[in-house]
Structure 1
């Protein structure tokens, strides 16, 4: 190691201590701050209609943000998870789906492959950006946030790109036709997600620990690190994109010194970090982490000129450094870009449903469609004891708007019926854990003041064993199947025999 690199490494190792690089006053203030790792930033952390008490991490098994004190001495100076076989590669996004290319195609794919012990080297082990995007984009070329995809994955699941037809489609607003795709999606879920700020050294170290080993040091060496979602401002990129000069670590590569001063948001994935990458932001001829470069009277992380995240973009392999770019740690502190100052993380899970609904239907306005599934423990009951309104068949009210789009079920300009699948396991378990008794109720109608009409072609209750094998399938009596002005009510015994 040459003297220049050694000097930079020494500066980094000293500065990355929880209080090093700060003035005494600011270090003390940070040490006394009990909310140093606040998990819920005000904007974009969870669906607006879910309420302030909605805990997005509730079903995750990992330690919550702030519960683990991170010793920066155990963290290496560089981590790049995009070099791992679980990383699905750099995508070239189509339309305004950047949030889903980051949160689902990249991060969800990576996390699911880490969980499964597989490589993300084919569509069989990658997950599509457009499945979740077309659920919540209003059937138009509209942007989305990372949490949109993660909520779709929590409540519905994500099918593999192989089953879906690729990571992206050639038409906006399409929903897949075929129970098998929807059933596969149920197996791949998000169990929990969190957003956290990265505006202090302690928060930075916690994020670095997540990227390195999820802050779970083990006796058998470091575990596999996670990825982080971030949201950057892309206006006037030329003003903030710099080239690392000669004789500097990673010379010739590009680095963002802060978010663009204006413009639109853009979702990306943070895949690692490099403590030695730096740039002379204030032009004083030095790259420092211990000088008040912004003139606010104190030295904080906002003044750091050395240390950067590794960001994977969705603009293709030819952009910047094979689709990757550096972003200074200090760039995450920007009072003018509130939504870009947070990092999102996700935990995934495999899941096997035991009871599902296989439903084929048409409707000329899927946002105005209203479907409720109910259950009663008595097989002769005339009304349900518990009811469930699937988000996907009710216009995605979770997100507070008609995110399914005012288009037919299959998508824009396609009035064909499609076959979907809905997981009923949690509903059935409310009254019939062994699935041998009870009655199911299916109600289909339309939103108030809507003129939507539709037709049910078939509906079945499906039961699976603990290994995911189909045990039996029982039909609902359909009749003429039409609904709209009149609500359609269907009933079936939970354990009805299979019809030949």
Structure 2
């Protein structure tokens, strides 16, 4: 384990002189042992951890957005970055680092204090339950995805009549990765679900707190529910290594931008291995963990903020020594009666396996607070409109034997040119891997509701990824109104008395209200085998990148006053107007149409209109308004 290179902090003792000696620095604190709390994060093997690092994007740099600019201005700091980054587009991965201009961040370029738990995007603290091993779904889903999606979409997840529409359901997520048992899950499986299936809202899943335990083996089937979850798919699953030279600064930049992140940690009984004392954070008396002891169990929690001026006098000398200053604010899923309103603070020094605090010994069994020094960020989509959906009816008594794949080809062949698991995100989730993810042969011999007799379920899967897979290798194919063939495969990986049946299959273009059904040849049964069905549909939009520039070419010069946003305009899938630049050539028979400030979002459907009110110099007009559909896929 590498040592953590913590950033230097200017200490202003005078701010704390009136409370300096009121702190009890000698007694370690424990929580109420009369309450038993649950955890639920299964520890990764070294091989699993290597796979995560191989297949997830590593965060290399975080640009500051408008919220960070506001926070810096409130603290009186100068801002080095010229323009704030767009919400949802602040993070640069190690794969993209060479294509970006980087401004080096240091501690002086970031706010000294951030607390996102007070933002409207962050939901209230809740309790995962005393017998529910579901912490991954609470940290990654309820806290992180709720906050991060609400932040970029401007939603209030804290208060209001419709607040549960914006809160992510931990129950829905937990049951899709827990093998049908109340025995915990792997966090990367949880991230796989969010990347592929999205995340259903609290309001669409009943009893998400009280029913986690009693319904931990139930998959919530239902085409409408699964379709609604797709809106909350993450853009990228990413990790950040705090041990890199700019790791702490990047973590703080994410928090300063308003996001929250998740991490895994060793957990003893009731987190008693998190050794705490009372210190000062946010100018108040707070419990601060100053080191973590090794423990057998694992727990996932959420970082919601930090305070560079937090102080815990660990060595008891009454001085603000190196390693005693600065802490992260952590949200737990054990209710508001735990800790301070459900929160605890963690010294920066606790991220390392060895303390840097002078004259501190006897930290036997100390380990890094974050597993492998990593935190996890699910980059939210500003918006998401699936290009094509599949609505699939499946009958099974053994979901553990069930795998589902989607495929694509042109209509000249009856076999898919590209095919992938519905649970695939990177090579780590290829079909047949050792995973507990739904529809990838998860463990647990149960039907969809947790019983053992065959039953029907209808699910909605996103076909957009398979279309884009084909587009990446056939870039000129999707020029508009393309005849396409979409496939569904049901795999049963064991020949026995139980079979998996494909009972229905339809492909849906929701934007254009087009549905293509497979009406003949079903049901199909698989028993230790694979069955395949396909249907044809026209994919209407052109597939383009987000900086696409269009040229509208006219037979004759058009009047200058006709070149305006009332006659030439772009709307998104919700019919909102998009800001564009219109630039005619010298002869005014060609108009360049380009987005302003990257205003097109990835994974969004747009329509470009040329109005019949456009007039030529001779006074002629288009016979009708022309429309061109396009979909931004990268």
Partner of 1:6: 15
Distance 1:54 1:155 in 2: 14
Say if 2:327 is the partner of 1:308. Answer: yes
Distance 2:274 2:414 in 1: 65
Partner of 1:128: 169
TM-score in terms of structure 1 length:
0.76
5+ long unaligned stretches in structure 2: 1-11, 19-43, 61-87, 355-366, 472-476, 540-634
Deviates more, 1:227-236 or 1:417-426: 227-236
Say if 2:444 is the partner of 1:406. Answer: yes
312 and 248 in structure 1: CA distance in 2 versus 1, 3 angstrom threshold: closer
- Residue 239 (structure 1) shift: 6.0
Report SS of the residue matched to 1:373: strand
Partner of 1:198: 242
Deviates more, 1:417-426 or 1:194-203: 194-203
Please give the residue correspondences for 1:91-110 in structure 2 after superposition, counting only pairs within 5 Å: 91-94=126-129, 95-110=132-147
Partner of 2:535: 492
User: Is residue 124–residue 162 contact of structure 1 (8 Å, CA) maintained in 2?
Assistant: yes
User: Is residue 462–residue 472 contact of structure 1 (8 Å, CA) maintained in 2?
Assistant: yes
Report SS of the residue matched to 1:400: coil
Aligned to 1:323, which of 318, 339, 342? 342
Distance 1:325 1:400 in 2: 35
455 and 77 in structure 1: CA distance in 2 versus 1, 3 angstrom threshold: same
Aligned to 1:184, which of 220, 228, 239? 228
Partner of 1:348: 380
Say if 2:277 is the partner of 1:275. Answer: no
Deviates more, 1:321-330 or 1:92-101: 92-101
Please give the residue correspondences for 1:169-248 in structure 2 after superposition, counting only pairs within 5 Å: 169-170=211-212, 171-199=215-243, 202-213=246-257, 225-235=258-268, 237-238=271-272, 240-244=274-278
Distance 1:325 1:254 in 2: 6
- Residue 445 (structure 1) shift: 3.1
449 and 111 in structure 1: CA distance in 2 versus 1, 3 angstrom threshold: same
Partner of 2:193: 152
Q: Answer 1 or 2: higher relative contact order, Cα 8 Å, separation at least 6.
A: 1
User: Is residue 44–residue 145 contact of structure 1 (8 Å, CA) maintained in 2?
Assistant: no
5+ long unaligned stretches in structure 1: 10-41, 214-224, 290-303
Report SS of the residue matched to 1:315: coil
Superposed CA deviations along residues 59-95 of structure 1, whole A, max 9, x for unmatched, are 9762237855213223232211000000012121141
Aligned to 1:370, which of 381, 403, 422? 403
RMSD: 3.5
Distance 1:60 1:151 in 2: 21
Partner of 1:445: 491
Report SS of the residue matched to 2:117: helix
User: Is residue 79–residue 274 contact of structure 1 (8 Å, CA) maintained in 2?
Assistant: yes
- Residue 322 (structure 1) shift: 0.6
Partner of 1:16: none
- Residue 305 (structure 1) shift: 0.9
User: Is residue 376–residue 383 contact of structure 1 (8 Å, CA) maintained in 2?
Assistant: yes
**Aligned positions, number:** 433
Aligned to 1:75, which of 110, 114, 118? 110
Deviates more, 1:454-463 or 1:396-405: 396-405
TM-score in terms of structure 2 length:
0.61
Distance 1:50 1:341 in 2: 13
Report SS of the residue matched to 1:106: helix
Superposed CA deviations along residues 38-68 of structure 1, whole A, max 9, x for unmatched, are xxxx978987667836546699762237855
**Structure number having the greater strand percentage:** 2
Partner of 1:389: 421
Q: Which structure has the greater CA radius of gyration?
A: 2
